[in-house]
Amino acid sequence: MRSTLIKNATIVSMDSAIGDLDGGDILIDGEKIVAVGRHIEAGDATVIDGRGYIAIPGLVNAHIHTWEFALRGIGGNWVGSRDYHANMHQGMATRYNARDVYLANLLGSLNQIHHGTTTIMDWCHIVKDAEMTDAAQREFPRVDMRVDEPRDRDVSAAVDHGRIAGFDITADGDDFFAVDQNVAAVEIADGGIHRHDG
């Protein structure tokens, strides 16, 4: 794979060993960051002038309903959760099929990446059957997202070492989840189908 060198960017590393750098360089080999520092030399790497740009780690969206991406802007005049649940879950959501979930999650995921978010906690409570569950998962590898699946709606569950107790975080035997560590991470909380292969 070809290397890319971003030169002279303002880098907010969130890593105490590297610190924040004004006029720093980032060397990327394929899709992996291999060096961060000043005055990095990389021979035949493609060089990108980072002056005037800020490089930061990906953002985290801790609560999103990606399946609702296509409905953005609807409900601005709704009164609290009463109208949201009545209009969204008992209204519009009942008209969604597996293809709608797939397309909304694909576009919603691409939108998150476009705006710098690389990790999302997706509350995908639209799923009604195995076909919808599969459709909800299928788009994440296409946009380089890592997927864990908490299968529970009990968000009041105690957090134990960064994981929510009682959630079934498994790959369900699918290759949807077999991705590299340098891609975005997604957790889907669907509260729906509890499918286990094996």
Tell the burial category of 36 from Cβ atoms under 10 Å away from its Cβ (0-12, 13-18, 19+): buried
The confidence band for 18, taking pLDDT boundaries of 50, 70 and 90, is very high
The most confident of 131-135, 172-176, 187-191, by mean pLDDT? 131-135
Q: Is the overall model pTM greater than 0.75, yes or no?
A: no
68-96 mean pLDDT: 86
Q: Mean pLDDT across the chain, nearest whole number?
A: 74
Tokens found for residue 79: 């009164």
Tokens found for residue 5: 């060198």
Cα-based distances in Å from 132 to 64, 68, 127, 139, 178: 18, 14, 5, 12, 20
DSSP 29-42: ETTEEEEEESS---
| Out of 11-20, 115-124, 146-155, least confident range | 146-155
CB atoms within 10 A of CB 63: 10
User: Do the domains 59-188 and 3-55 match in fold?
Assistant: no
The yes-or-no verdict on residue 179 having pLDDT over 90 is no
Q: Model confidence over 116-133: pLDDT tens digits?
A: 887 787 788 788 888 888
Nearest to 125 by CA among 197, 62, 195, 64: 64
> Strands across the sheet with 117-122, in order?
59-64, 117-122, 184-188, 145-148
Buried residues in 14-24 as b, exposed as e (16+ CB within 10 A): eeeeeeebeeb
CATH of 3-55, one of 2.102.10.10, 3.30.450.40, 2.30.40.10, 3.50.50.60: 2.30.40.10
Cβ atoms of 187 and 149 closer than 8 Å: yes
CB atoms within 10 A of CB 146: 20
The set of residues, in sequence order, having a beta carbon less than 8 Å from that of 4 and lying 6+ positions away, is: 27, 28, 45, 46, 47, 48
The most confident of 7-11, 116-120, 130-134, 148-152, by mean pLDDT? 7-11
Give the domain ranges of the chain.
3-55, 59-188
| Domain 59-188 bears CATH identifier 3.20.20.140 | yes
Tokens found for residue 111: 């939108």
Cβ atoms of 150 and 188 closer than 8 Å: yes
70-97 mean pLDDT: 86
